[in-house]
Amino acid sequence: MGHGRLNRCLPLGVIAELGLPLRSIASLHGGDLLVGDSRGWLHRVSRETVVATHRAHAAAITSIAVARHGTWVTGSEDGTVRCWRDRQLLSSSTARDFVTSVAIDARGTIVCAGYDGTIWWAR
């Protein structure tokens, strides 16, 4: 990857519709984006418009990871890790501190990092 300027960004109208500040982003397999904001709202965005919005957490969404089978995981400053399919909550677990990052390993296991420096596997 070079050091050039980004050649694409969300249209300003979409960013204004979401409201700032945005905190996290992930790409879905169909091309849409998932965007988490500082208020705990999760937005599904196509190239030109906000497709869906729902309250996912009680605080900022700090990380989003997308699994191969169509689900995604969010981590938040509210100390929770949540697994979703569309807007349906599939599971939720609570951490000891803010969740700073989530990932999905090759086996489909959710791996998390916290503000306190810990790394753990969510269930």
Taking only Cα atoms into account, the Rg of the chain, rounded to an integer number of angstroms, comes to 14
Q: What is the pTM of this model?
A: 0.84
Higher per-residue pLDDT: 98 or 14: 98
pLDDT tens, residue by residue, 13-70: 666 666 668 889 999 988 899 999 999 999 998 877 888 889 999 999 999 999 988 8
Residue listed under structure tokens 């599904």? 44
pLDDT at 36: 94
Domains of the chain: 12-121 (2.130.10.10)
* SS3 (DSSP) at 80: strand
> Using CB atoms within 10 A of its CB, is residue 83 exposed (0-12), middle (13-18) or buried (19+)?
buried
* Euclidean distance between CA atoms 109 and 88, whole angstroms: 19
Q: Does the pLDDT at position 101 exceed 50? A: yes
pLDDT tens, residue by residue, 81-91: 999 998 899 99
Mean pLDDT of the 91-111 span: 93
